[in-house]
Amino acid sequence: MEEAGRGCGLLKVVVTHGRNLAVRDFTSSDPYVIVHVADKLDLLVQTTKTKVINSCLNPVWNEEMTFSMKEPVGIIKFEVFDWDRFKYDDKMGQAFLDLQPVAAATKLRRALRLTAGETNLRKVNPDADNCLLSDSFVTYANGEVAIDARLRLREVESGELFVTIKWIEPDSANTGKQADH
Ligand SMILES: [Ca+2]
């Protein structure tokens, strides 16, 4: 069985920027993002966070975080906070992204045996079960299955979060390059 010996692939989460975030200090906020990756296969949650951007409601982080997973099966949760020196950090909303479209696109890529070129694999529409603000496309390019997502932050008066998720298969993640055959 091909699946039996699979190692871990790499899930790359790029938190690019935020837009129109909520004010939590006098006129601005010092936002940062905590990223939780809930791995449904291994029942494991991996957490990391971005740096703080001072006094900015349209922050640019452009930070890439890497998580190891056997398959892209799970949910990514993003929590935005306002950093404060002298008190607890204030909430600035949260959003989540289910990896299901990435998992489905990965299966499709395997079935189609795609190894090169660029392909749109799947379209994901905004609906009540996700936080998407606009249509997103799962693409395959440069050996990676990727989705750019524009997320509406929940439980907050305003704010959008822009992220890119990339999945790199175990075989290419382990060797650092594409297999030739
Ligand atoms: Ca603050």
> What distance in angstroms lies between residue 58's CA and the mean position of ligand 1's atoms?
14
Average pLDDT of the chain is: 91
> What distance in angstroms lies between residue 62's CA and the mean position of ligand 1's atoms?
20
> What distance in angstroms lies between residue 95's CA and the mean position of ligand 1's atoms?
20
pLDDT of 140 > 60? The answer is yes
Q: What is the pLDDT of residues 27-53, one digit of tens each?
A: 999 999 999 999 999 999 999 999 999
User: How far is the C-alpha of 167 from the C-alpha of 138, rounded, in Å?
Assistant: 10
pLDDT of 124 > 80? The answer is yes
> What distance in angstroms lies between residue 37's CA and the mean position of ligand 1's atoms?
26
> What distance in angstroms lies between residue 138's CA and the mean position of ligand 1's atoms?
35
pLDDT given for residue 58 in this prediction: 98
Domains in the chain (CATH in brackets) are 9-175 (2.60.40.150)
